[in-house]
Amino acid sequence: MLQIKDWIKSQFARGSLEAKSSAFKSLFPKTVKLDRVATGFQFTEGPIWCAAEKCLLFSDIPANKIYKLNRDRQVTIFREPSGNANGLTQDRQGRLIACEHGTRRVTRTEKDGSITVLAEKFQGKKLNSPNDVVVKNDSAIYFTDPPYGIQPEQQEQPIQGVYRLSPDGSQLTVVADDFDKPNGLAFSPDEQRLYIDDSERRHIRVFDVQPDGTLTNSRIFHDMKSNQPGLPDGMKIDREGHLYCTGAGGVWVFDPDGHHLGTILTPEVPTNCAWGDDDRQTLYITAGTSVYQIRVNIPGIPRMRDEG
């Protein structure tokens, strides 16, 4: 017979839901479980579902690779070297946008496999180490630039900024300059708000997005301080505005008003997440050496609004 501590350990190893409100469990099927779909990596990050190929791309930062996971759970290398790619997304044309942690740049992988550099300097100085990225419906690219991938003496930028690259790619501007360690970011379903977490301060902030793409009215969405290992990192939003943010203990889920509804407990410290499968009702989670998945009741918002 299992001792109580062994039972708790076995439950945590499988992953489970830790509800903090009655609304939390309604977000998941009754028979929901967290499945590990791939493992054996060094440090997984940046998952993105590619609808056209029905596969998940994700980064292994120290391995300097981007992997491809298909529906049969077969893993192949998509790109090597990857520039120690971290956060990934796609543009309207389905081209991969990558924050290259090691080469300190944001790139686009063209259909023929060639690499186009979108951003690597601001005002003549190298970026820190671009971390995570989102594409707005007008094709503007927003990315965070903490110094995680460099030594202090390598930093040329005076800030840990959040940047916006104009839709035509001609203008790079700073939209937020008062973060300690800006990391994950996500738009609300109507793109009127942008959520950005600060891993150092362990909180999520939310901004109003102006018609010209600038950010105003910064305020704290939720303080995610915890004694458990893990920091606010990657995040995604569903069609009803629930925010899923990786953090201490697992993936924290919030309602649009910032109330913590509960946590998807994960066996390894999570780093990022992405909606996937044809119905966008599978949440893929990168965590430590593995990739996990869990089914949800409310679909994630399409990456680009013309996907349906």
Average pLDDT score over the chain? 93
Question: Band of the pLDDT at 124, cuts 50, 70, 90?
Answer: very high
Mean pLDDT value of segment 240-246: 98
- Residues 29-85: pLDDT tens digits? 999 999 999 999 999 999 999 999 999 999 999 999 999 999 889 999 999 999 999
pLDDT the model gives residue 135:
97
Question: Band of the pLDDT at 1, cuts 50, 70, 90?
Answer: very low
Backbone torsions φ then ψ of 55, nearest 5 degrees: -150, 165
Find tokens 């993936």 and name the residue: 251
| Length of the chain as a residue count | 308
User: Residue 9 above 60 pLDDT?
Assistant: no
3-state secondary structure 146-180: CCCCCCHHHCCCCCEEEEEECCCCCCEEEEEEEEC
- Residues 159-213: pLDDT tens digits? 999 999 999 999 999 999 999 999 999 999 999 999 999 999 999 999 999 999 9
pLDDT the model gives residue 308:
39
**Least confidently predicted of 55-64, 200-209, 278-287, 298-307:** 298-307
Domain that includes residue 139, residue range: 4-307
Rg (CA), the chain: 18
Question: Band of the pLDDT at 128, cuts 50, 70, 90?
Answer: very high
Look up residue 131 and give its two tokens.
Answer: 């971390």
pTM confidence score: 0.93
Q: CA distances (Å), 139 to each of 93, 226, 238, in order?
A: 10, 36, 20
Cα–chain center distance at 121: 23
**Least confidently predicted of 85-89, 169-173, 224-228:** 224-228
Strands 250-254 and 243-247: antiparallel
Q: What is the CATH number of the domain that holds 75?
A: 2.120.10.30
User: Residue 4 above 50 pLDDT?
Assistant: no
pLDDT the model gives residue 7:
33
**Least confidently predicted of 73-82, 199-208, 269-278, 295-304:** 295-304
- Residues 36-49: pLDDT tens digits? 999 999 999 999 99
Question: Band of the pLDDT at 302, cuts 50, 70, 90?
Answer: confident
Q: Whole-angstrom Cα distance, residue 56 to residue 64?
A: 17
Q: Whole-angstrom Cα distance, residue 296 to residue 242?
A: 12
pLDDT the model gives residue 304:
55
More confident residue, 295 or 25: 295
User: Residue 6 above 80 pLDDT?
Assistant: no
Count of the separate structural domains present in the chain: 1
Cα–chain center distance at 136: 15
Question: Residue 133's beta-bridge partner residues?
Answer: 143
